[in-house]
Structure 1
Amino acid sequence: MKKDEQIKVGISIGDLNGIGSEIILKTFEDSRMLEFCTPIIFASIKTMSFFKKHFDSAINFHGINDLTQVIEGKVNVLNVWKENISIAFGEEDLKAGEYAIKSLEKATEALKNDEIDVLVTAPINKLTIQSDQFKFPGHTNYLAKELGGNSLMFMVTEKLKVGLLTDHVPVKDVPSHITAKLIEEKVQTVYDSLIKDFRINGPKIAVMGINPHAGDNGVIGDEDEKILKPTLLKLRDKGKLVYGPYSADSFFGSKNYQNFDGIIASYHDQGLIPFKTITFGEGVNYTAGLNKVRTSPDHGTAFEIAGKGTADETSFKEAVFTAIQIFNNRKEYKKLSKNPLRKAPKKI
Structure 2
Amino acid sequence: MKKEEKIKVGISVGDLNGIGTEVILKTFKDNRMLELCTPVIFGSTKVLSFQKKHFNTHTNFHGISHADKAQHGKINVVNITKDPITIEYGKSSEEVGKFAIKSFTEATNALKEGTIDVLVTAPINKHNVQSEDFKFPGHTDYLGQTLEGDSLMLMVNDTLRVGLLTDHVAVKDVSSAITPELIEKKVNIIYNTLKQDFGISKPKIAVLGINPHVGDNGVIGVEDDEVLKPTLEKIKNQGKLVFGPYAADSFFASSNYKNFDAILAAYHDQGLIPFKTLSFGQGVNFTAGLNKVRTSPDHGTAYEIAGKNKADHNSFKEAVFTGIQIFRNRNIYKEIAKNPLKKQSSKI
Question: Which residue of structure 1 lines up, in the alignment, with residue 336 of structure 2?
Answer: 336
Question: Which residue of structure 1 lines up, in the alignment, with residue 218 of structure 2?
Answer: 218
> Given that residues 85 and 95 in structure 2 are in contact (C-alpha distance below 8 angstroms), is that contact kept between their aligned partners in structure 1?
no
Paired with 1:304 and 1:344, the residues of 2 have a C-alpha distance of 53
Query: Per the alignment, in what secondary structure is the counterpart of residue 15 of structure 1?
Result: coil
Residue by residue over 1:98-117, the C-alpha shift from the partner in whole angstroms, topping out at 9 and shown as x without a partner, is 10000001000000000100
Alignment of 1:114-193 (within 5 A): 114-193=114-193
Q: TM-score, normalised by structure 2?
A: 0.97
Instruction: Give aligned pairs, total.
Output: 346
Offset, 1:344: 6.7
Question: Which residue of structure 2 lines up, in the alignment, with residue 294 of structure 1?
Answer: 294
Question: Which residue of structure 2 lines up, in the alignment, with residue 87 of structure 1?
Answer: 87
Offset, 1:300: 0.4
Paired with 2:152 and 2:205, the residues of 1 have a C-alpha distance of 15
Alignment of 1:218-297 (within 5 A): 218-297=218-297
1:59 aligns with 2:69: no
Offset, 1:288: 0.1
> Given that residues 97 and 129 in structure 1 are in contact (C-alpha distance below 8 angstroms), is that contact kept between their aligned partners in structure 2?
yes
Query: Per the alignment, in what secondary structure is the counterpart of residue 175 of structure 1?
Result: helix
Paired with 1:88 and 1:159, the residues of 2 have a C-alpha distance of 38
Q: Which amino acid aligns with 1:283?
A: G
Paired with 2:192 and 2:55, the residues of 1 have a C-alpha distance of 41
Paired with 1:233 and 1:285, the residues of 2 have a C-alpha distance of 29
> Given that residues 13 and 122 in structure 2 are in contact (C-alpha distance below 8 angstroms), is that contact kept between their aligned partners in structure 1?
yes
Query: Per the alignment, in what secondary structure is the counterpart of residue 128 of structure 1?
Result: coil
Alignment of 1:18-33 (within 5 A): 18-33=18-33
Q: Which amino acid aligns with 2:321?
A: F
Offset, 1:345: 11
Query: Per the alignment, in what secondary structure is the counterpart of residue 281 of structure 1?
Result: coil
Paired with 1:209 and 1:104, the residues of 2 have a C-alpha distance of 35
Paired with 2:337 and 2:344, the residues of 1 have a C-alpha distance of 10
> Given that residues 252 and 274 in structure 2 are in contact (C-alpha distance below 8 angstroms), is that contact kept between their aligned partners in structure 1?
yes
Offset, 1:2: 7.6
Offset, 1:93: 1.0
1:12 aligns with 2:7: no
Identical aligned residues as a percent: 65
Offset, 1:3: 6.0
Residue by residue over 1:260-289, the C-alpha shift from the partner in whole angstroms, topping out at 9 and shown as x without a partner, is 000000000000000000002111000000
Query: Per the alignment, in what secondary structure is the counterpart of residue 130 of structure 1?
Result: coil
Paired with 2:177 and 2:321, the residues of 1 have a C-alpha distance of 33
Q: Which amino acid aligns with 1:86?
A: T
> Given that residues 206 and 245 in structure 1 are in contact (C-alpha distance below 8 angstroms), is that contact kept between their aligned partners in structure 2?
yes
Offset, 1:342: 3.0
Residue by residue over 1:148-171, the C-alpha shift from the partner in whole angstroms, topping out at 9 and shown as x without a partner, is 211000000112000000000000
Q: Which amino acid aligns with 2:127?
A: L
Paired with 2:92 and 2:25, the residues of 1 have a C-alpha distance of 22
Q: Which amino acid aligns with 1:81?
A: T
Query: Per the alignment, in what secondary structure is the counterpart of residue 186 of structure 1?
Result: helix
Structure 1: stretches of 5+ with no match in the other structure: none
Offset, 1:69: 2.3
Structure 2: stretches of 5+ with no match in the other structure: none
1:76 aligns with 2:76: yes
Question: Which residue of structure 1 lines up, in the alignment, with residue 200 of structure 2?
Answer: 200
1:97 aligns with 2:97: yes
Q: Which amino acid aligns with 2:38?
A: T
> Given that residues 214 and 247 in structure 1 are in contact (C-alpha distance below 8 angstroms), is that contact kept between their aligned partners in structure 2?
yes
Q: Which amino acid aligns with 2:133?
A: Q
Q: Which amino acid aligns with 2:197?
A: D
Paired with 1:152 and 1:338, the residues of 2 have a C-alpha distance of 26
Paired with 2:3 and 2:88, the residues of 1 have a C-alpha distance of 39
Offset, 1:4: 4.4
Which region of structure 1 is more displaced relative to structure 2, 109-118 or 333-342?
Answer: 333-342
> Given that residues 206 and 264 in structure 2 are in contact (C-alpha distance below 8 angstroms), is that contact kept between their aligned partners in structure 1?
yes
Coordinate RMSD, CA, aligned: 1.4
Paired with 1:293 and 1:313, the residues of 2 have a C-alpha distance of 20
Residue by residue over 1:21-61, the C-alpha shift from the partner in whole angstroms, topping out at 9 and shown as x without a partner, is 00000000000000110000000111111101111110111
Query: Per the alignment, in what secondary structure is the counterpart of residue 86 of structure 1?
Result: coil
Residue by residue over 1:275-311, the C-alpha shift from the partner in whole angstroms, topping out at 9 and shown as x without a partner, is 0000021110000000000000000000000000010
> Given that residues 336 and 344 in structure 1 are in contact (C-alpha distance below 8 angstroms), is that contact kept between their aligned partners in structure 2?
no
Q: Which amino acid aligns with 1:111?
A: L
